[in-house]
A and B are shown apart, each in its own frame.
Chain A
Amino acid sequence: MTPTDSDASGLPHRPARTALRRGLAIAAGQLIIGAAGLLTGVRAIWSGTAPKAEQTLYFANHTSHGDFVLLWATLPPDLRARTRPVAGQDYWEASKLRHFIGHDVFNALMIRRDGTGEGGNPVDQMKAALDGGDSLIMFPEGTRNTGDDVLLPLKSGLFHLARACPRVRLVPVWIENLKRVLPKGVLVPIPLACTVRFGAPLALAEGEDKASFLARARAAMLDLRPEYDRVDPNGRDGAGAAP
């Protein structure tokens, strides 16, 4: 497969690599999807929208390193092939294996949160990828939520992307239970049923300001939670959790 082929098929541009490496990446991808399914019995619930072959920015809550794997695994294969997770370069380029998984299997968009990456700051990188026709998976909290809060305050990146790329569908996603499967700092994951809920796409309204758009995006994510999960056991509803 040459770069020209992949351009012609509409897939994101990738550097040429050997067929063996490509085959390995596909096999590893299937293995990861299979393992995720076996461990979490993950299922996707689409409400207010359906999987569509349109350019999409999925924005999800982020509680575990496995988040984008799970989201990616629940996408239909044809959408999966054109959807790239946004991932932290410092983590995914720390070893050869991670590099292989990050680049070859997930075709992740590597960003540096401190903005020292090749493509400038993360929002510019994501915008460039969206302009290039990719669909993206991003976590608007900006960091992993390892505390007791339901959802951290959203960073402004989502707003800037919504303004810069108005044609892209913005689909809110709620990933349920994964935090309990593999909390921070444990070695052994426990098998719990996980659900990935996709909601109705959000659009930036005419003249809408940052705060109100982010509040709507946040509410759209929280509304995807199943009813029995709406009452937070700690008495925090997540809305006023900003530090």
Chain B
Amino acid sequence: MTALSPSAWTTLKLFGGIFGVLALASAIGALLRWRVARGQPHPVLDNLVARVNAWWVMVAVIGLAFAFGRGGVIVLFYLISFYALREFISLAYTRRGDHGAIALAFFVVLPGQYVLIWIDWYGLYSLYIPVYAFLILPILAAVGGDTQRFLERTSKLQWGLMVCVFCISHVPALLMLQIPGFEGRNLLLIAFLVIVVQGSDVLQYVWGKLLGRHKVAPGLSPSKTWEGLVGGVASATALGASLHWATPFNPWQAALMAFVICLMGFFGGLVMSAIKRDRGVKDWGSMIEGHGGMLDRLDSVIFAAPIYFHALRYAWVP
């Protein structure tokens, strides 16, 4: 065993901060339940407490993965992709003839992407799903001979793979970026992304609940308001800037990066809501108490991760 490295200390400090925030949230939830709900069931507060409790579990799971290092993080995001894809395909229209293509997606394409991430073959993992899976899966479906709603079926599977596997896999891919002067500290890049994106979601929720009046997209999501959006993005950008000491960024770069992440996250949530509306469901699943499914919690990470990855790769990796 070696003594804790400086980066491990930084990680611990971040987790300490998150624990503090969660403890505060739990305390506020308990206080509100006691003062406002007075022991009676209260849908909004009960959901709030369920959400906070789920956050404790999610933070614990991420912490555990971090403790195992690169392998732990890759396995964690492999599992996240698996559950996300399961939610996506469960709600998509498929037919008997798609069985082979879907099996291939779950048991070959999905693990393959994470193996490529593990061996850090950037050239292939950026093409594997957009090109190779894109071409081969519809071939399998076509050989099945069932042409009913063919384009819809194949594009849904491709979309599922892009969103649930390709995009999400860019989170663990951050670990392999070689940023001069930042060696051995790449877990912090993931921590920054996750804290800013999820912080933005939470802050949008808080601002929206406190001040929200004007809906951004009434047809899509009743909970997204301009007040929530502006307040949430502004405060999450400030949060990102205040975390610059844990990143390779200076405060302005951290703020800009956080701003881009928040915007992509917000629009990601909007797009994923549109898909849900189209299918007539409110949540993707029920895995995470109070939040809905895996995809409900991750929609913003999905859209932010590849952009963040490429911004880092082009501007910070020589």
Contact = CB atoms under 8 A, between A and B. Distances in A.
Contacts of B91: 228
Contacts of A183: 96, 99
Contacts of A186: 99, 103
A43 B103 contact: no
Interface in B260-318: 279-281, 285-287
Q: Which of A191, A226, A227 has the most CB of B within 10 A?
A: A191
A117 to B, nearest CB: 32
Interface in A32-51: 41, 43
B103 A193 contact: no
Interface residues of B, number: 22
Interface in A223-243: 226-228, 233
B149 A233 contact: yes
Interface in B66-95: 82-83, 86-87, 89-91, 93-94
A20 interface: no
A13 B53 CA distance: 45
A180 interface: yes
Interface string A183-218: 100101011110000000000000000000000000
Given A177-B90, A191-B86, A193-B87, A43 B99 contact: no
A192 B284 CA distance: 12
Nearest to A186: B99
A190 B106 contact: yes
- Interface class of chain B by DSSP: helix
Nearest to A229: B280
A227 B280 contact: yes
B96 to A, nearest CB: 5
Which range holds the interface residue count of chain A?
Answer: 10 to 19
B84 to A, nearest CB: 11
Question: When A and B form their complex, which 4 residue pairs have the shortest distance between CB atoms, in order from nearest?
Answer: A228-B280, A193-B90, A192-B90, A190-B102
Interface of B: 82-83, 86-87, 89-91, 93-94, 96, 99, 102-103, 106-107, 149, 279-281, 285-287
Given A41-B285, A41-B287, A233-B93, 20 more contacts: A41-B86, A43-B286, A177-B90, A183-B99, A186-B99, A186-B103, A188-B107, A190-B89, A190-B102, A190-B106, A191-B106, A192-B86, A192-B89, A193-B90, A193-B285, A226-B281, A228-B91, A228-B279, A228-B280, A233-B149
